[in-house]
Structure 1
Amino acid sequence: MNRCSKIGKVSGLLAVMITGLVIFSTPDKDNSNSFKVDAQLNTQIDKTSDRDTFEYFLSDLVDNDTDTIMHRFERYNQQLDSSERLETALLGKYMRYKAALATLRDNNLNVDFQDLHQQMLLLQRAFFTVDEQYHLFSEENLLRELALLKKDIKESAQSSEEFQQRWEFELNKLPPVLRNSFRNASLLAALNETNILDTQSQFIAREALVGSEAAERLMILDQQRTDFDLHVHSYLITRDVILNNASFDDIEKEQAITDLRKSLFDNSLWRRIEALERIHDR
């Protein structure tokens, strides 16, 4: 088969895909892309707290080793004002802690939640100073303690009214910020539980939790996520067809895939798509 014929086949394949898919575009408004991993290009670096920033950089640990993550973090840290810079050594501690925590959870799949909570506290003490523990984990630890307290109250209360009264009494002891954090965490857990429901039941459950307007916004977000997943799935299938076409050499395959990606996705999404390709190819 001559080169013109091959190019014609590729063009025909692209035409079929383009008629079946629309361009999915999400603008990238963050100018600090050099600090980000591929799948983060359309997201903002989380600066809510030091720990949130650490988690942001660790979110692609599956695809990048710890040295790469540390290098990206250091580049990000250097562009901050001196008063805003984070401790690089603390990120190193946090990465080691996360690795140990993953092992702890894998080895304690059937352990009681109270025991797991105590083991996590011991692990924190092994890696961090008292000040670092408070800085990184105080809210998380308190939320776990409240979850355990809530469980105890639920088990001992004689009625739902008694449970609600005792539970509200405990919540009202908290500072407003922590009280809202726990209620938000409980709300998020309740929203996640609606994912197993059918569309109508899910909307009704969400409406009861957050109101009609928010429930409608959640449905729109769900549909956007589903649409994007379908686009990527179709793209990866066609990409596999190109890769498995023995009549194309490596250069022709690469060009065909580039043309396909360019035709279906805005260029702000390309690095994200490339990251999904690597996950698909494992």
Structure 2
Amino acid sequence: MQKHKLWLWFGLITVAVMGIIYWLIPHSPPSPGHAQAPTARTSATSPLAVSSPNSSATLPFLSPSQQDTEINCQLQLDSGNRLMVNEQTRNCFEYFITQYGEKSLEQIRQDFQRYIAQTHQEPALGQILDLWKRYLDYRERLGELQPPQLDPDSPQYYRSIFTSMKNLRQQFFSAYEIEGLFGVEDVYHDYTLERLSVMDNKQLSEAEKAQKLKALFEQLPEDWQANLEQLNKLEDLRALTAEIKARGGSSTELRQMRLNLVGPEATQRLEQLDVERSHWKTRVIQYLNERDQILSAGLNDAAKQQAVAELRQQYFNNPQEQLRLDTFESVHDQGGKLPFAE
């Protein structure tokens, strides 16, 4: 039982460690030529379920938490009724594996075998069950891998994890199966590891890092770029801007980094945003200083409130700005750090 727990927990830990990687992966259908065997000509999608999710035919295969879902098992077959291994194959396997905890591992094995026997015929049936057995064995061995003795914050730590995983896969799957099961995920893993290496490179300036990050991003497929552009660039901008400010870098360095990463138009918008933020910060600080003077003056409470209200209106006559100001007043009065955007 302990061994079975280990293989599941290692998978969960890996997902937790690389969660930011996996959920970013575009899950669009694979292109026609992706991960197909040389003999594959056309594909057919196997039945998602033999009937509705709540029917007696599918209920035995669902865990209690899955009762309101359809069985996610969109296996693709070629014209000869042979399995085409791709990301959907792995999704099908993982759908059943996630039942662990609500069902025993042995029950999961049996349920999958019965489900596939109901929905597929030979030769696909034998191929699916053979691959399923090897996939479970792989997941169990995955739980026996030891984390590297490296700094968990370093790119080398994550690279070592994925090198171990890739080496383990070769013990259970053919090159075609590895590409089909893990190819889409590995493209993004490799990209992310390269990004981490660039960000960790102490020999590069922030502007050079921005240039390399942009080049890496442009090597991704176009549909991936569409999904990842905003999130990646925002994160890179945040990290590189923080690096420049932490070492007291110049506005020229900041501008060059932005130009390299997001181009001239976006840089111009960011610079305008800098001006607006600086103006806001100046007004807030001036207002709070004058407000402090009023509150410490020898006036009665009514006079203080009237003076503060007039001061507020003088600096911030926009209702939305006055709402924002409430937060700054509260933090200031409690002695906290003012929440200015950097």
TM-score by length of 2: 0.40
Higher helix share: 1
Higher RCO structure, 1 or 2 (CA under 8 Å, sep 6+): 1
TM-score by length of 1: 0.48
